[in-house]
Amino acid sequence: MKIDLNLEPVENWGYNLKAPILISGPCSAESAEQVMETVKGIAKYYPQVSIIRAGIWKPRTRPGTFEGIGMEGLSWLTDAGKAVGKPVATEIANAQHAEQALKAGVNILWIGARTTVNPFGMQEIADALKGVDIPVFVKNPINPDLELWIGGLERLNKAGITKLGAIHRGFSTTIKSEYRNKPTWELALELRRRIPALPMICDPSHICGTREYIQQVAQKAMDLDYDGLMIEAHRDPSVALSDAKQQVTPDELGRIMNGLVVRDRTTSDPFVLNKLEELRDTIDSIDKDLLNLIAKRMEIAKEIGQYKKDNNITILQSGRWQEIVEQSVNEGKKKGLSQEFVENYLQSIHGESIRIQNEIMNTADAV
């Protein structure tokens, strides 16, 4: 179901923003010199940078670590932006931050993942921004909760913020992987499907947690038609006071951005368009066949549910389920399907089967 928000196109935000938008700067403002040198380096190695960023307030899980320089850093950020002729942005976590950033002349705000997860905090910020004409980006919440993300956007929009965008920075997980935060691309793409006019920015720095993978994640975002990227840069990441491993030097940033392949959203070539239409028709036909097969599978699930009820057998057979997963994953690999895809597919199918059987088991038989 699509969501109707009153959104102003990026082209009308007043900062000459064109895809791919690049938001870049240090994770944290540490000194006036560090911010200025980093920003001038960014402008040198990638003059097309769209927005300059720096963290002023840094939410940390435990006290005693660097929690940002505070208000003092706002002037460092705005001075650096003026030096290179670019708008500046920073993260806010509460209404007081919003007021201080606006007073200092910050052009663009974004709301971090730890704040997006809190509806009360989001509402306080929305109330503080009523009547203010400023672009605001909202990062996804820490956990993969699409409704929380949408809710934060809606609160700001109802407060009159029409220059609104989303930042995809990945989601926390206890599962070990090469990434700091699991991208869960499908959730971000579902947000785009439900709010098509919403500008979507990818934050490879926080998804990766290490500079090693930033190029490949940035390229994937471009291939998925994101409007831009947020990449953290520091004049010397090795001495950064926060997130040192995920920041790049300005020259590395230039190499990443200049190495990206930015593809066309469509084509006017009739041969290509006809071929794509033919392939899409084939996919539509296969999708119908898949739905018919799944429906048949659920009919069998109903029979199984009734048989289990009649014979007083539990719905879930753990050993049987584990066997299905292992066999299907192995079969899927032979056919070029990833383990993650096969497991997610099976979870969806199994969940619906359990729902159907549970309904049968707990419905009184007609007398």
pLDDT at 101: 98
Whether 355 has a pLDDT exceeding 80, the answer reads: yes
pLDDT in tens, 50-68: 999 999 998 877 788 888 9
pLDDT at 64: 80
Phi, psi of 313 (to 5 degrees): -110, 140
Q: Which domains does the chain have, with CATH numbers?
A: 10-258 (3.20.20.70), 270-361 (1.20.59.10)
**What is the C-alpha separation between 72 and 77, in angstroms, rounded?**
9
Average pLDDT, the chain: 93
pLDDT at 27: 97
Q: Is the alpha carbon torsion for 284, 290, 292, 298 positive or negative?
A: negative
Whether 163 has a pLDDT exceeding 70, the answer reads: yes
Whether 176 has a pLDDT exceeding 80, the answer reads: no
Residue 132: which pLDDT band, with cuts at 50, 70 and 90?
very high
pLDDT in tens, 71-89: 999 999 999 999 999 999 9
**What is the C-alpha separation between 293 and 259, in angstroms, rounded?**
44
pLDDT in tens, 243-285: 999 999 999 999 999 999 998 888 888 888 898 889 999 999 9
pLDDT at 265: 81
Residue 42: which pLDDT band, with cuts at 50, 70 and 90?
very high
- DSSP for 25-42, please give it: E-SB---HHHHHHHHHHH
pLDDT in tens, 12-33: 999 989 889 999 999 999 999 9
Residue 308: which pLDDT band, with cuts at 50, 70 and 90?
confident
Whether 366 has a pLDDT exceeding 60, the answer reads: no
pLDDT at 216: 96
Instruction: Please provide the size of the chain in residues.
Output: 367
pLDDT above 70 as % of the chain:
99
pLDDT in tens, 223-244: 999 999 999 999 999 999 999 9
pLDDT at 266: 81
pLDDT at 72: 96
pLDDT at 181: 93
Cβ contact 68:28 at 8 Å: yes
Q: What's the CA angle centered on 35, arms 34 and 36, to 5 degrees?
A: 95
